[in-house]
Structure 1
């Protein structure tokens, strides 16, 4: 059985090697959050487009302030959106009052902070020496006109959207979002709006997966619940393979009525692995059929959630035009001693909180991989690696944030 790292690398290699190229499309700026950029974006002018003051104070010629204290004459004012129209080029002994964000007047090359001055009418006494370009962001120091500010393949979050607006890109070329088919399976599963019998469960996995797919940059396409019968399952799988990626939840264990692998085999599927040394999620299946990749996710809700985050989310990212975004493990101090000897990489619902300035992780009370109440109480998963058979309170450990 593959280890977690081996399985993750195999998924990356198979998807990258498929040479899938999503189609670009142009969308208004306010519609591209979470999308992946399909072109390089360049600066339309220098940024900043002028020498910009970073402090309130007085714009000066640094050559006039080589010694301190020194008295200068204030000859004007510069503020954001209202630059001073004159020049200090030939005006030795003069300064201009200036506000943060304002363009430096011509001839000035530094700003003396207002805290280091004394004002008496139009005379300003500078109490400290000022160096060239002190308290100034120089023109073009952030980006020069024509230089690349964002690269193709970059996922667009709020910061990138602000930059696009700054360079005047109100129409943005992005990659099409991949469609992801979601097929929950099992005779025990009923629609969420239906009152279940005592032996049934509501279809929570489809709702969870749809939210995860959307957060990863895909478009969820929730199909019907597949019963534990081969013909209806085959029809839904055939429909699911029309999408860019297919996710099935449940039916991948070794039980008599776990029919997903059988149905996929009938369609000529190639299975890259059938199980990974992780808990929860050990029965995870990954393969390709009819030219489309698929995951068979274990049906227990926590297993479904975890295996999507670990393996399917990076694939959705690649199909959306981005990089294979591996799960990011952060570090925290373990809140209580822990022992295990499973030989598996284990992901347990937990909560991280700051204690005396340090991140400390505690397990939440949960009853196994079917416990959605416990998972909802968590903000992360404590990651215990196979070699970590005994962990002491205060040990540094890996944690996987629940929301990537």
Structure 2
């Protein structure tokens, strides 16, 4: 049996491997089908058409504070209160020299006024208000069109919509939204040791958890999970299920990617003319991670240990899924936090280790027994991300952190 075509010989660094994923997927992806959905269904979807402002925002100058609408040229001074404007009320008054209009936050600023003085900076006596200090023109006023001008771009196609984007679309009156179809992601766990979740396993067996963790990660990343039956360690069965998975937009295989006698995934993929871009990455957990393409579909061969599967999806497969779903820029949310306790490692690998980020912004590695320890991952709310060249971190030193 012919081997799959391998483009990369040596194990790649984490950043090199991620760059390969981005370049390959960007270079050959097609524009997904567009769907029209209701705004209330749009959270987490990818916008397919640019959104334009339907009018100026704000449509009229608005007060940013409770206080008095005034003419800056009249200050400091004592002014006559000639009216009141609440948020949502049409303005039916004008500020003339020596006058002021009481105004609430969000209300439209009356004609003639060019500033708003905060109420706590005034003294009111009947119909008179004393303003003891000068004020610049435009103070505490959000001018017409500052946020957006009519017809201007406010959201570009390819952005994934969260609550802020939903609010923005609602504000411009988009009750319906054009979005890209969710990518269908096939999930195929392999191995004789696996049984289904509702089966009582024998001592030599384990329940299949990887398919369901991957399904959750796929849905969280904006994809539609297609969970295939477990593939036993038998070549023809594995090939049949891989063929089914390659009919989806992306295929995720779990297990069978190491160098063991019964690790058959790469052999099975070779029968489909697979091109493999890398088959090992210098990370922990997840070194034996495979990325390639067969029959026009990208695939990832993820290690079988649960933490390895979870990490490899988040740092590699998620980016591919987001690009295939029409997202312009897949993001990898790695930030920095201070270590609560010293941390040591053997250099050479970028490590993504279960960690706990506390309310004070300090991060601590969670004790774990290795990449099969699912319970340790559940005790974590983040991954500690180490520098592969650094051997020792002191308490209080900054280190990479990725949200779980």
**TM-score, normalised with respect to structure 2:** 0.95
Tell me: CA distance 1:41–1:99, structure 2 relative to 1, closer, same or farther (3 Å).
Answer: same
2:58 corresponding residue in structure 1: 48
Give the length in aligned residue pairs: 394
Q: Which digits, 9 at most, give the CA deviation of each residue in 1:86-125, with x for residues without a partner?
A: 222xx32221111110001111111121112222221222
> Which of 285, 293, 298 does residue 290 from structure 2 map onto?
285
User: What displacement does 1:281 show?
Assistant: 0.6
Partner of 1:396: 398
- Measured against aligned partners, the alpha-carbon deviations of 1:161-194 in whole angstroms (never above 9, x if no partner) come to 0000001111111111101000111111111122
Deviates more, 1:137-146 or 1:316-325: 316-325
Whether the 8 Å contact between 2:29 and 2:324 is mirrored in structure 1 is no
Report whether the alignment pairs 1:75 with 2:82: yes
After superposing on structure 2, the runs of 4+ consecutive aligned residues of structure 1 that deviate more than 6 Å are none
Match of 1:60 in 2: 70
Q: Determine the structure 2 residue equivalent to 1:363.
A: 365
SS of 1:314's partner is helix
| SS of alignment partner, residue 247 of structure 2 | coil
Aligned twin of 1:375: 377
> Structure 1 CA distance, aligned partners of 2:78 and 2:396?
59
C-alpha contact 1:344 1:386 (8 A) present in aligned 2:
yes
The aligned residue for residue 259 of structure 2 is 254
Distance 1:122 1:326, change over 3 A: closer
> Which residue in the other structure is 1:21 paired with?
31
For 1:300 and 1:286, the matched residues in 2 are separated by: 17
**Alignment partner of 1:8 is 2:52:** no
Is contact 1:12-1:324 (8 Å) kept? no
Indicate if the aligned counterparts of 1:310 and 1:326 stay in contact, CA closer than 8 A: no
- 1:95 matched to 2:97? The reply is no
Query: 1:326: Cα distance to partner?
Result: 4.3
SS at match of 1:303: helix
8 Å contact from structure 2 (residues 87, 108) kept in 1:
yes
Q: Determine the C-alpha separation between the residues in 2 that align with 1:101 and 1:336.
A: 48
After TM superposition, give the deviation of residue 330 of structure 1 in Å. Answer: 1.2
Q: Helix, strand or coil: the match of 2:358?
A: strand
Question: 2: distance between equivalents of 1:326 and 1:33?
Answer: 17
Find the aligned partners of 2:72 and 2:228 in 1 and give their Cα distance: 70
Comparing 20-29 with 233-242, greater Cα deviation is found at 20-29
Where do 5+ consecutive residues of structure 1 fail to align?
none
Q: Map residues 164-203 of structure 1 onto 2, 5 A cutoff.
A: 164-203=169-208
SS at match of 1:251: coil
Q: Distance in 1 between matches of 2:350 and 2:120?
A: 57
Provide the rounded CA distance (Å) in 1 between the counterparts of 2:330 and 2:304: 24
Gaps of 5+ in 2: 1-10
Question: Could you tell me how far 1:391 is from its partner in structure 2?
Answer: 2.4
CA distance in 1, matches of 2:395, 2:88: 57
Tell me the distance in 1 between the aligned counterparts of 2:29 and 2:284. Answer: 31
d(CA) in 1 for partners of 2:307 and 2:342?
A: 23
- Stretch moving more, 30-39 or 116-125: 116-125
**Distance between the aligned counterparts of 2:338 and 2:111, measured in 1?**
55
1:86 maps to 2:96: no
> What is the alpha-carbon distance in structure 2 between the residues aligned to residue 333 and residue 318 of structure 1?
32
- Tell me how far apart the structure 2 counterparts of residues 342 and 134 of structure 1 sit (CA, whole Å): 55
Q: Name the counterpart of 1:263.
A: 268
Say which is worse superposed, 297-306 or 272-281, in terms of deviation.
272-281
CA distance in 2, matches of 1:184, 1:275: 19
TM-score, with structure 1 as normaliser: 0.95
Q: Is the 8 A contact 2:12 2:281 kept in 1?
A: yes
Q: Distance in 1 between matches of 2:350 and 2:115?
A: 57
Q: Secondary structure at the match of 1:5?
A: helix
Residue number in structure 2 paired with 1:154: 159
Does 2:358 align with 1:348? no
